[in-house]
Chain A
Amino acid sequence: MNQLEIQGSEKSFFERRITRHEFVKEISIVAAGILGGCTPLKIVFNAFPERFSKDAHLCEQMLRAFVTTVIPGAVNNDTNLIRIFRDTYYPFCGYCDFFVSDLAARSANLFGDDQFDRLTRQQRAAVVRDGLDGDATIERLYQGAIFMSQVSYYAGIYDDEKGCPLIDFHGSNYGFGEEEMYYTNSSLYLASEATSDGNYS
């Protein structure tokens, strides 16, 4: 699948009629990307099906399916479920459309349906594993997407008050009652102490 995408990008590059100045400029960008080792050719040239950068609804559905694959039990219609992927604070934002297109390509390759969100949970998990087994760049992309999903959801970063009910994390608060914080019989559990004041001599 990666090989097909690279061929596609080369075709789109060489078939276009561009000026010498544009050619030099684009080659420079490619060289910088390759030297930097962080941005593959196909991303530099947006060399993936256009619908993934134009159909916001399609991308949203697939990203929601991705997060609920990484975190089963995450609420699919949660307002903030995929917000982090479009947050320009994080560099991943620039790779998001490509990531969705890769999910689609792997879904089609493995299960004959390029709509990742229509696959079963087991099939979606297989697609994610396939991405993690991809080349270094693709692996990095999938690692990053999993990382961002977990940071966003478990830490509840877009809704301080909500926290993360899935793991019983309450979010922001004004403190708790003593019975919630302490054991009334804690002395029964405490070990003997080596010091008189907590400082070792």
Chain B
Amino acid sequence: MKTIFTEVLVVGSGFGAAPPALRLRKAGFDVLMIEKGPDLIPERDFRQTQDPKYLLSYLKGIGNDQLGFTYAEALGGGSGFYEMISLRAPSKVFQQTDNDGRSLWPAGINRDVLNPYYDIAEEMLHVEQIRPDEVPKSGVVFSLLMKNLGYTCDRAPYAVNGCVGSGYCVTGCLFGAKQSLHLNYLPEAKDAGLRILTDTEALDVTTLIAHPASTSQVRHVPSIPHRYEIRCRNTTSGEEFLIHTKILVLGGGTIGTAKLLLNSCRKLRFLGRHVGKNIAINGSVKAAGIVPEGFPEGDMFTGRSHPGMISYQFFDSMGITISSAKPLPLNVVASAHLTLAGEGGHNSYWGQDNVEMMKMYRRRMIVLYALGLTPPCAEIRRTGENLFESQLDLTPDLRHYYKQTEAILHSIFERNGCRVLNIANIDHEGREYPDIHFTTTHMIGSCRMSDTKDNGVVNSYGEVFDYPGIFVADGAAIPSSLAVNSSLTILANAERIAAHIVSTHEHESRPRIRMITERELN
């Protein structure tokens, strides 16, 4: 079987993978990046469409009746399809504890520690707070709803530069305005010599030496043996091959990294029992309402995909933030039955009732969502050869959180004279789920950081316990809900982990050595 040798292998190409790839390559490491999904060139591949065939070629899901996770498989990971809102996690996030009173975050990691890395990430993504005159109409209406009740509402920082307002950010920006990783980290890393293989899935990891832990003190990279073997498969040809690496950085996302390590558990037998567990769902709860006559109108379809406003009004008291959303029609009709209460009960989700409601969708409907500090409560399990299932522990506390948060959102609508819509989440065949159903793109923590192996998979620098040189740099390492969109924190933490790897390893620039060797050979 063909074998490729490298000093550093980065698995994945999204928010958790791009910073290590860039920083390590710039520090002189020989770096190879593999991505399961296809190559993606924004101006060539992104489309303004809601065709499920297009979207499902990049966006994947795993879930059950209680839970739905959505993630991306393409070069750049989720960055091609995110909403650009780039928020720092509030300090309180880092103070969360589990039921036994143990801190969810490793000692020494807090907002102050992450701030310098947030700075770097924001500079790379050109993050700026939205100006008052650039707040989309739906964001203005949301802010007015809060203002009317005496609440605060803040303009959010965005990763966008030169927005034309087409409203299709989440299907991929055609105009080079949305700061996906295709515009910054990845081209800079490629210019520095990063090699990228797309359509390449990492199947499992095994050790090449009997006792990897014995290499933990070897920090001179040329002296580190190739200690890990990754079995890979080209997803288009089916061909399998091997990659031998000295350092392995896992950045395939909360789901992707968990799958890879779960597939590797038999070969990496010291991995421990937390792989795939402790997934935090960021407490996403949604509500929708129709603003009354005379209220300023929103606009679901023009301008940026995110309305640009966030309220921290209930963060200290309830642990939630509230934002509004601008889902495209597909996102609404494919994810929920929305109904207005009519005479004699609920109106129908189809027929004339539904059409009348959908006619109000663009201008008068406002969608609110809360993100909250829900505890780690979900899990990914391996059920067979490359087969997985997800599970949510729908505890009474979590159920209470959902109902209480939903009540707050409804109250905001009702006290403004809005009509509240009933939302029944549906599956991919249009069937309503029987109970509460959480959906999120912000799942984090399947291989969480911890002070000890008893509570997590990796240490505070993302290094897997008992496997020196294997790092988890993506959302899988983040140990708690953030109550804000997760992309910036994942990026900042990946920058921190990359800085640690660079600072703790000695390296002579590999390209220079190669040039001398070739000249000598000639």
Contacts and interface: CB of A to CB of B under 8 A. Distances in A.
Interface of A: 69-73, 89, 125, 128, 140, 143-144, 146-151, 154-158, 160, 164, 166-176, 180-184, 186-187, 189-195, 197-201
Interface stretch (B86-94, B216-224, B241-249, B390-398): B86-94
19 contacts: A72-B355, A89-B53, A144-B430, A148-B430, A151-B330, A157-B50, A157-B51, A157-B52, A167-B329, A168-B301, A175-B164, A181-B303, A182-B136, A183-B296, A190-B147, A193-B152, A195-B154, A199-B87, A200-B315
A88 to B, nearest CB: 11
Interface stretch (B346-354, B374-382, B514-522): B346-354
Given A167-B361, A198-B310, A155 B329 contact: yes
B49 A176 contact: no
A143 B424 CA distance: 13
Contact of A170 (B151, B301, B355): B301
B302 interface: yes
B143 interface: yes
A77 B299 CA distance: 29
Contact of A173 (B48, B141, B157): B48
B165 A181 contact: yes
Interface residues of B, number: 71
Describe A's contact surface by its main secondary structure: loop
Given A169-B301, A176-B303, A194-B312, A189 B48 contact: no
Given A155-B329, A184-B133, A195 B359 contact: no
B388 interface: no
B129 A197 contact: yes
Given A172-B49, A173-B48, A191-B151, A180 B299 contact: yes
Given A166-B358, A176-B166, A155 B90 contact: no
B341 interface: no
Given A146-B350, A194-B313, A166 B430 contact: no
B121 to A, nearest CB: 12
Contacts of A166: 355, 358-359
A143 B431 CA distance: 6
Given A155-B329, A183-B296, A69 B351 contact: yes
Given A128-B350, A176-B164, A186-B135, 19 more contacts: A70-B350, A140-B431, A150-B333, A154-B333, A160-B49, A170-B301, A172-B166, A182-B135, A186-B132, A187-B132, A189-B144, A189-B147, A191-B311, A193-B153, A193-B155, A195-B312, A198-B155, A198-B310, A201-B90
Nearest to A181: B303
B430 A160 contact: no
A162 to B, nearest CB: 11
Contacts of A191: 143-144, 146-147, 151-153, 311
Given A155-B330, A180-B299, A125 B312 contact: no
Interface in B112-165: 129-130, 132-137, 140-141, 143-144, 146-147, 151-157, 164-165
Contacts of A174: 164, 166
Nearest to A175: B164
A140 B167 CA distance: 33
Nearest to B48: A172
B313 A183 contact: no
B165 A176 contact: yes
